[in-house]
Amino acid sequence: MLAKRPWRSQFVLLAALWGSSFMFMRLGAQEFGALPTAGVRVAIAALFLLPLLLWRGLGPQLMQHWRKIFFIGLFNSALPFACFCFALLSISTGLSAILNATVPLFGALAAWVWLKDRPSGSRITGLVIGFVGVALLTWDKASFKPDANGLSSGWAVLACLLACLSYGVSASFAKRYLGGVSALVMATGSQLGAALCLALPTLWLWPQRMPGATAWLALLALGVLCTGVAYILYFRLIEKIGPARSLTVTFVVPVFAVTYGLLFFQETVSTWMLLCGLIIICGTALSANLLRLRRH
């Protein structure tokens, strides 16, 4: 049923799910900690997806490509999820989601360096504009002075950017080495790989005090909806419209994330933050070749 819908509806649904993931990661990380939150998230997603994969008879395809798909799991799930969970302990969901909009910038850089997909002049301009927007956004927010909990917004911002770079690398890897692989196989295998990567850190850093029901429900939503269902949508989009256009879902994610932050956490969104977010999105749109500078 879902596969028959136009890709645009899947695009918006994916943005809504990933927008809510920042809220759920924050709720989970406050009680579980960053790495256990990421570890439980991917474990739940893997447990949700694996029966679907086996029921569809796609086990042999996963076994055929498991090494490359597990690599995707490291760079498209384990590392970025851990980074964002860490970041959300000290910065707002809105700021982290706006920084997440730089994923296509890093995707364009990765494609340039790795796939030799040299961008045009307007796309290079877009890269510059996008990263200038990031610098303006974080100039007065990124402090490396530890707070009362020993955390700092500067390291949180860097963690978000590292997560975005990781997403960009994994998109190029998927395009180069895993073309034609089923979206369900990619989604399931990547979460299995991520769960294996995070298993030991999750056990080692498991909280001494059992988290409450709210944190567990947040991780259940993260695992099933924001990861399991969302990654099926994401890899389907890559198949249908390509990695560059699929990554532009991060343009829409901040809209949902900021809305959730306002509604549920009473977060404030300044005019400056919105302006910098617009600069980032415009630069990213240029870098993804969705906008073009006219020559006269």
Tell me: the pLDDT tens digits for 118-160?
767 777 787 788 878 888 877 766 666 666 566 678 889 999 9
pLDDT for 275 beyond 80: yes
Torsion angle defined by CA atoms of residues 17, 169, 95 and 248, in that order, rounded to the nearest 10 degrees: -60
Tell me: the pLDDT tens digits for 243-254?
667 767 877 888
Mean pLDDT of the region 6-14: 84
Q: Residue 213: how many CA atoms within 13 Å on its side-chain side? A: 0
Residue 98 CA from chain centroid, whole number? 11
- % of the chain at pLDDT higher than 70: 88
Q: Which residue has the higher pLDDT, 220 or 182?
A: 220
- The one-letter code for the residue type at 271 is T
Least confident of 198-212, 245-259, 281-295: 281-295
151: left (phi over 0), alpha (psi -120 to 50) or beta: beta
The pLDDT value given to residue 296: 47
